[in-house]
Chains A and B, each alone.
Chain A
């Protein structure tokens, strides 16, 4: 499944400065492995040593937080947009 992955500024050192990179995978987990093969070190910033999503990292597939759609097992479809963002305090506070 060919998807586009949006990379936050803080992680662009792993993508030669690219804001978005192409990736491939049937699930989010497979996509991260695919990205790691071309952007070594990126996966380690997103996942904990135990392989879970880092507490302060949010990943969205088509704007929906993957923690509520199966986390790393979230299925991907061709043309999906994957966005990685740091967790921030926000909302109408």
Chain B
């Protein structure tokens, strides 16, 4: 069924696409069993990112609990995608939208948020996303009429993936052996990971997290770190930190070899997926590795990620929050 009564009903049901060129061994050969990579194309959601799933679920849960009522304003710390998803849904449902966003996020995301009618409050670049979270919490306390859905700690975020992303993957690929996704709010990994662990014995759940340049970490105090409330490390089997250079390299591999124009965090996730695929090849194991393409590359064109040499692009990206 591809006819919908409204845009919000078109969230989810995204395609799972094989990568015959980037997979280590697409067909079994005399050298060993197939080790295949599959991309879950979350850029096919209505606003172009995986965040439509969580935003829709969190808003629905808040409405059901009576926290969100007509005329309310939603407040959220976001580097872009969640804000864009929430702003679209807020527009359709008649809510106001305020986003707290680090000032060093891409220009496209600001323009998109404004187009969807969101008000943006900038948090200092040096404080990164940690400070955006802290600032949003302060604003929520000062403005009791604003409703913060708080994606880092809202169980509906993970539940959206337990109910949607996980079952979709299992239905499309019952032989799945690995699931690889980005680690931000941790909602995708927690929800999909829990679902797959219940249904697929031995499935591996792998996190890829961005490793930024010096400036992003520069002022970070170890005693005031941030771990999302949703995070439960018992759901994961491994966790990789991926540099800007490797993320960019894989983002370009995706478009050059498989024709998939993805955002930079998807390159980081592919890098981790290739790492676990390589381990499977060495162990002589068959593997079906599913990884998430979180969004398309459109919102990152102004970062220079897709032009010039890899080294130049990585340097340009060094001080930006690219995921």
Contact = CB atoms under 8 A, between A and B. Distances in A.
Interface string A1-20: 00000001111000000000
Nearest to B243: A63
B32 interface: no
A90 B217 contact: no
Question: What interface size band does chain A fall in?
Answer: 20 to 34
A56 B222 CA distance: 6
B323 to A, nearest CB: 5
B200 interface: no
A39 interface: no
A83 B210 CA distance: 13
Contacts of B241: 58, 60, 63-65, 83, 85
26 contacts: A9-B217, A10-B219, A45-B222, A54-B222, A55-B227, A63-B240, A63-B242, A68-B237, A85-B211, A86-B217, A86-B221, A88-B128, A88-B130, A88-B225, A88-B226, A89-B129, A89-B130, A89-B184, A89-B185, A90-B129, A90-B183, A90-B323, A91-B185, A92-B49, A92-B50, A93-B129
Interface of B: 49-51, 78-79, 81-82, 128-130, 132-133, 151-152, 182-186, 207, 209-212, 214, 216-228, 233, 236-243, 263, 265, 275, 294-295, 321, 323
Interface of A: 8-11, 45, 54-58, 60, 63-65, 67-69, 83, 85-93
